[in-house]
Structure 1
């Protein structure tokens, strides 16, 4: 299947945010409206198209999200419907980041005491050295939003953030989506009809 440039970037974003073994490990967050009774809802459905299924994006990964999200919602007693009470949307974005790390190194200049070079003066550089490392990377963010369709307001959000790792197969990306959605839904606040 052919992907446009944006589609390939989406593949990287999804992988970065959800794949186990990311460079710094993905971070997962959820939030919800505490005033909402999630047990009062019975049905769910998906936005058509979801944000990640827009122009230049492959539906392959959208379908992977749908499959994982469908599993999580039906496990909680919700029924998929063409006229849902809860609508689900998935979006993704990426952002270039710069990380600057500075550390003190009392022996930076020439190793241990610059090894007694010159006519002695071993203490001259002690305590003045610093090392600065600058790295650039791309951070991907995937949002899963659940919206009260009658009120047109978001009632729950799951977020996955991580560094982009390239070169993964489609099967690895689908597995990352599946496990990421499972992790995001661990603290989902309700069951249908309860």
Structure 2
């Protein structure tokens, strides 16, 4: 029984580490995306280490260029703003293990005593990337995408998470 509980716990932890980012997008229902073809960055993405900032910006650039948009050093049809933040979080899971003893029950069948609870606490850091698009001429917000995920420990996993989050964010872009 202990081996089974350990296997379930390991599977839950590994599953939590490999989950896809949680992505949400929103857009202005009055915005017409058909005339937009160029974009420019208002500033470098904020809240990230310089190398991570470069990777995020490159991933967003690649997604927009794949949609036919072109980057302009300034004065694009759309202005991009990206920010990142992190937050400490905890998962608390309680598992019940059956005791290793049992006996014949009153009404027949095998009976066990009450389960033994084991509570596991996992602390982790969750990162959130927010990308806003504004119509440059009117300065009105037209689109927002957010991606959240537990921050991976290795640089390779972090790069993969950035790529996956940005790709998922721009999956249905442009809206409408």
Whether TM-score is above 0.5 comes out as yes
Instruction: Name the SS of the counterpart of 1:130 in structure 2.
Output: strand
The unaligned stretches of length 5 or more in structure 2 are: 1-14, 104-110
Which residue number corresponds to residue 101 of structure 2? 112
Gaps of 5+ in 1: 1-20, 116-122
Aligned position for 1:97: 89
Q: CA deviation at 1:176?
A: 4.3
Is residue 22–residue 165 contact of structure 1 (8 Å, CA) maintained in 2?
no
Change (3 A) 1:65 1:128: closer
1:22 deviates by 7.0
For residues 94 and 101 of structure 2, what CA distance do their matches in structure 1 show?
Answer: 20
Alignment partner of 1:63 out of 43, 47, 54: 54
Other-structure match for 2:146:
159
Q: For residue 184 of structure 1, what is the aligned residue in structure 2?
A: 169
- SS of corresponding position for 2:17: coil
Q: Secondary structure at the match of 2:143?
A: strand
User: Is residue 36 of structure 2 the alignment partner of residue 41 of structure 1?
Assistant: yes
**Higher-RCO chain (CA-CA 8 Å, sequence separation at least 6):** 1
Shift of 1:45: 0.6
What's the CA shift for 1:175? 4.9
| Distance in 2, Cα, partners of 1:183 & 1:150 | 28
2:26: which partner in 1?
Answer: 31
Query: Is 1:142–1:161's contact at 8 Å kept on the other side of the alignment?
Result: yes
Shift of 1:188: 0.8
Q: Secondary structure at the match of 1:31?
A: strand
Structure number having the greater strand percentage: 2
Over aligned residues, Cα RMSD in angstroms?
3.0
Normalised by the length of structure 1, the TM-score is 0.65
Q: TM-score, normalised by structure 2?
A: 0.70
